[in-house]
């Protein structure tokens, strides 16, 4: 379907650089994979499985040369909600369905449409996700016991408050050590894999100085198997599809946005260009296969993709090497992961949440104090207090309504009059301050669609009530007309013609002209009365005035009269 030139010109030197980059990213991906899985309400090994399988498949089948795929923080709220509401087995089905949706989106080239999602919506739910991730780690940070996972934010806060008396000082110490590593190490040793160090250092300290004092992966989940699970196709029924299609769609929607955003970031860092629809298909296939081995939904990861590029990656082989490295690490060192304290993972996820919150952009949009600000706040609050599904639906709806309102205000309708009537110069037009009772010229500027059709109808209906004999609509600044706009224009034409009036149209562009021809309005107006330029239309209308109307007019010798007479004489000269 797509020509793959991502491996073109591959050399041994490129392979070597890809290997180094893959290992570097793999070191970063291991702690994140486990942390994201735990935060999503599943066992940590499922995050590792996702990192391996999705990482390799997206590298081979995706549309970006540098994309690194795996579990991400953006998925945490929706995956946790699915696990709590439907269970882990149904999460696998939802992930598989999301993969199918992504493939369909890629095949039908919907990747280009995702780019049009308003920034206020994406920032709103991203910031909301950040809040959910951050607050979701408070229990592990403070070592609270018997904290039940809740679906809603306010329930989580109440549950944390109920268990506040179970604070564990050793957990707080462990989390602070990990947090200090994350903050300090990049400043003194920027090339050191900080997240891995932030896991190892607190783990070693906890093992030697206060063993069995904090909850670990082993005590909470029973350790991590050192092999991939066997292939198992989930039991998919029609009832389950009806039950899970909505979360599956949100997973696909969110995965598509984050993957393409990550690919765009990679393009900006490298000067390369990704293929949006191929990327969606690659992500879709990865999400179809990953659940078959117990993995959770995956998408392109911006931070890991950036790390891949900074580490010297040249081709998609770096993503393959990353997956292989994580798999080898799983086989060799999985038993040791059981000693990792949950408290050491809390600061990692908190930092991820802090970084993904887009604080500066959030504040910039908020300061606009316009429709975008409302969309941002509503999407953010719904993400935090309800769920991501409702937030995205309402956010997009509000964004569309805000857009329609803004567009509806963009339609301007002004009465015009010819000027330059005293000089031998090309005809120009100015806003009229007088009225010719026989010939009205109106300039229409802006789209004529359902949001502006009412204003169009109300404004020009007053023209009909004054009963001029000729009405010229200058439509060279009307970019498009929809069905509602065409209907209102047709009503105007019909009513005006019933009163024996003559409609003229000038400067109409291709799309509105095609709409007029398709609807039959072109024939109703008369093709001979639709002109390419306003000058031609005015000359035609002025000639009609001179022959039939001006002689009997009661308002002679106005400025307009001289203007139209000037135009009429020029028209006669051209005819002769």
Burial track 267-291 (b if 16+ CB lie within 10 A, e otherwise):
eeeeeeebbbbbbbbbbbbbbbbbb
My answer on whether 388 and 464 are in the same domain is: no
Rounded to whole angstroms, the Cα distance separating 315 from 576 reads 72
Chain segment 148-166, per-residue pLDDT in tens: 888 889 999 999 999 999 9
The pLDDT value given to residue 494: 92
6, part of any domain: no
Q: How many CA atoms lie within 13 A of 229 on its CB side?
A: 18
Answer with the one of 362, 381, 401 that is the final residue of a domain.
Answer: 401
My answer on whether 128 and 238 are in the same domain is: yes
My answer on whether 336 and 460 are in the same domain is: no
My answer on whether 255 and 391 are in the same domain is: yes
My answer on whether 87 and 202 are in the same domain is: yes
Strand partners, 430: 417
Range with top average pLDDT, 97-106, 226-235, 385-394: 97-106
State what percent of residues in the chain have pLDDT above 70.
90
194, part of any domain: yes
Task: Examine the pLDDT at 549 and tell me if it is beyond 60.
Answer: no
Which residues span the domain enclosing 48?
Answer: 12-401
Chain segment 289-344, per-residue pLDDT in tens: 999 999 999 999 988 999 999 999 999 999 999 999 999 999 999 889 899 999 99
Mean pLDDT computed over every residue of the chain = 87
The pLDDT value given to residue 422: 38
- CB contact at 8 A, 289 and 232: no
406, part of any domain: no
State what percent of residues in the chain have pLDDT above 90.
58
Rounded-to-10 torsion of CA 149, 211, 325, 58: 10
Task: Examine the pLDDT at 548 and tell me if it is beyond 60.
Answer: no
Task: Examine the pLDDT at 282 and tell me if it is beyond 50.
Answer: yes
The pLDDT value given to residue 114: 74
CA-closest candidate to residue 324, choices 9, 35, 48: 48
Task: Examine the pLDDT at 486 and tell me if it is beyond 50.
Answer: yes
What's 439's domain CATH number?
3.30.750.24
CA-closest candidate to residue 125, choices 387, 323, 494, 499: 387
Number of domains in the chain: 2
My answer on whether 346 and 431 are in the same domain is: no
The pLDDT value given to residue 555: 56
- CB contact at 8 A, 467 and 495: no
Answer with the one of 357, 377, 401 that is the final residue of a domain.
Answer: 401
Rounded to whole angstroms, the Cα distance separating 479 from 402 reads 20
Chain segment 414-467, per-residue pLDDT in tens: 887 665 443 433 455 555 445 567 788 889 999 999 888 888 888 888 777 777
Rounded to whole angstroms, the Cα distance separating 314 from 570 reads 69
1, part of any domain: no
My answer on whether 551 and 460 are in the same domain is: yes
282, part of any domain: yes
4, part of any domain: no
My answer on whether 307 and 362 are in the same domain is: yes
My answer on whether 390 and 473 are in the same domain is: no
Answer with the one of 376, 401, 426 that is the final residue of a domain.
Answer: 401
298, part of any domain: yes
183, part of any domain: yes
My answer on whether 369 and 467 are in the same domain is: no
My answer on whether 447 and 567 are in the same domain is: yes
My answer on whether 487 and 368 are in the same domain is: no
Chain segment 357-370, per-residue pLDDT in tens: 888 999 999 988 77
């Amino acid at each position: 379907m797509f020509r793959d030139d991502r491996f073109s010109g591959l050399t041994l030197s490129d392979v070597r650089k890809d290997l180094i980059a893959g290992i570097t990213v793999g070191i970063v991906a291991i702690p994140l994979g486990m942390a994201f899985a735990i935060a999503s309400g599943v066992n940590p090994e499922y995050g590792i499985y996702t990192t391996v399988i999705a990482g390799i498949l997206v590298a081979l089948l995706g549309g970006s040369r540098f994309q690194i795929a795996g579990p991400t923080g953006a998925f945490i709220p929706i995956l946790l909600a699915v696990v709590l509401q439907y269970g882990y087995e149904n999460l696998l089905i939802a992930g598989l369905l999301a993969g199918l949706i992504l493939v369909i989106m890629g095949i039908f080239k919907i990747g280009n449409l995702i780019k049009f999602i308003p920034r206020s919506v994406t920032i709103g739910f991203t910031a909301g996700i950040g809040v959910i991730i951050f607050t979701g780690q408070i229990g592990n940070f403070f070592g609270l016991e018997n904290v039940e996972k809740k679906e809603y934010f306010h329930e989580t806060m109440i549950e944390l408050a109920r268990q506040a008396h179970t604070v564990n000082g050793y957990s707080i110490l462990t989390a602070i050590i990990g947090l200090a590593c994350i903050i300090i190490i990049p400043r003194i040793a920027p090339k050191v894999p900080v997240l891995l160090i932030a896991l190892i250092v607190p783990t070693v300290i906890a093992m030697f100085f206060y063993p069995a004092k904090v909850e670990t992966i082993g005590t909470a989940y029973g350790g991590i198997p050192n092999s991939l699970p066997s292939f198992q196709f989930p039991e998919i029924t029609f009832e389950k599809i009806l039950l899970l299609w909505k979360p599956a769609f949100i997973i696909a929607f969110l995965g598509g946005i984050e993957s393409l955003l990550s690919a765009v970031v990679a393009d900006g860092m490298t000067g390369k260009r990704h293929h949006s629809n191929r990327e969606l298909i690659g992500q879709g296939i990865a999400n179809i296969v990953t659940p078959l081995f117990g993995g959770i939904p995956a998408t392109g990861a911006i931070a890991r993709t950036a790390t891949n590029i900074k580490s010297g990656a040249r081709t998609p082989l770096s993503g393959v090497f990353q997956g292989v490295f994580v798999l080898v690490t799983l086989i060799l060192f999985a038993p040791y992961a059981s000693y990792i304290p949950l408290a050491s993972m809390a600061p990692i996820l908190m930092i991820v949440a802090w970084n993904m919150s887009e604080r500066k952009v959030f504040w910039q949009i908020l300061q606009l104090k316009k429709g975008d600000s409302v969309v941002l706040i509503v999407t953010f609050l719904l993400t935090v207090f309800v769920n991501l599904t409702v937030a995205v639906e309402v956010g997009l709806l509000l964004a569309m309504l805000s857009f329609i309102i803004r567009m509806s205000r963009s339609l301007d309708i002004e009465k015009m009059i010819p000027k330059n009537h005293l000089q031998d110069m090309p005809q120009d037009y100015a806003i009229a301050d007088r009225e010719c009772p026989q010939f009205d010229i109106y300039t229409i500027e802006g789209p004529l669609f359902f949001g502006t059709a009412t204003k169009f109808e109300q404004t020009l209906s007053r023209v009909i009530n004054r009963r001029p004999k000729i009405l010229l609509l200058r439509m060279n600044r009307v970019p498009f007309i929809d069905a509602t706009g065409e209907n209102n224009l047709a009503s105007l034409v019909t009513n005006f013609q019933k009163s024996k009036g003559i409609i003229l149209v000038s400067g109409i562009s291709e799309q509105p002209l095609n709409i007029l021809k398709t609807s039959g309005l072109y024939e109703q107006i008369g093709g001979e009365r639709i002109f390419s330029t306003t000058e031609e239309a005015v000359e035609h209308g002025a000639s009609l005035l001179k022959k039939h109307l001006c002689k009997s007019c009661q308002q002679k010798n106005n400025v307009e009269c001289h203007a139209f007479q000037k135009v009429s004489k020029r028209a006669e000269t051209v005819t002769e």
